[in-house]
A and B are shown apart, each in its own frame.
Chain A
């Protein structure tokens, strides 16, 4: 069973600060996705990364896929209250099963 560990589990910071959250696995990902989930809703896709070392940017969010494809990070610059939510990484491990990480619950304080 593949396990995706995310850290930190909880993060609370002031508006305007920068932050990074992490996703790690002992197995190699075929591809990795980041989702954000808001209360009462299902997760919504932010990005998919496939190639080791790949970096993708989505406005103030920067996603990096590790060279060995076993880890990923999400960096948010100048966090805003609208960034509040549960951030989930999810990976395919050479099969069709989309396995989710444990999640990072982010709170941005105005």
Chain B
């Protein structure tokens, strides 16, 4: 398996624009997590899915953020409209079950100017 695949690797956008981040988890993994990493706040859990169903989105900062998982092999994190304070590295991770290893993608570095 190629591991967790995220796209794009880098995204630069203007304030107010819509941004969509994409993630392909490892096949067969039941759990998918979206994290955001900044120097100030570290690695924050935004939302996670179990078998494509959103379980906990309490970490999503605002209504501008939304996430979907239409099928077991694809998830998106959308920010609309984007703001400069959304600049961060966004990671997607998947795991087979709870308490097992979480496999991370290489992340998407988002810069909102």
Contact = CB atoms under 8 A, between A and B. Distances in A.
Contacts, number: 56
Interface size bracket, A side = 20 to 34
A40 B106 contact: yes
Interface in A51-110: 88, 90, 92, 96-103
B2 interface: no
A33 B100 CA distance: 9
A42 B33 CA distance: 13
Contacts of B98: 92, 96
Nearest to A43: B104
Given A42-B91, A42-B93, A88-B43, A97 B102 contact: no
Contact of A97 (B45, B91, B105, B107): B45
Interface of B: 4, 31, 33, 35, 42-45, 48, 50, 55-56, 91, 93, 95, 98-102, 104-107
